[in-house]
Amino acid sequence: MFFARNAIDGYVANESHGNFPFQSWGIDQREDAELTVDFGRPVTIDTLILTLRADYPHDTYWTDGTALFSDGSQLPLTMAKTAGPQPYTFAAKTVTWVRLTALKRAQGTEFFPALTELAVIGKNAE
């Protein structure tokens, strides 16, 4: 129900949780949660799009995080409490994986942050 694979399946219904189509990567309240997407080949990417689960007031959200890339680079992520997609663009890079890490829950909240969708925009590396 809250499996990591739910965050890369193309479904972005995010205003509830649990049953299809409201699926997400739910981490309970873990402070050390990470999500890695391994492409299995080199890809050239230039955009990440995060769609957070927005089942408020059940949910909270992350305010910050980091995208780590297999080439050793990092991208700081600042997130907002919104149901809309949150795009992050950067200079094109060729990688084999991307990892979301260092996710910081909004201060003063005891609720559940979750990711509905992580889209990575790019193409196969040439």
For the chain, how many structural domains are there in total? 1
The CATH number of residue 38's host domain is 2.60.120.260
pTM of the model: 0.94
Domain of residue 109 covers 4-124
pLDDT tens string 73-102: 999 999 999 999 999 999 999 999 999 999
CA 45 to chain CA centroid, Å, is 15
pLDDT tens string 30-78: 889 999 999 999 999 999 999 999 998 888 999 999 999 999 999 999 9
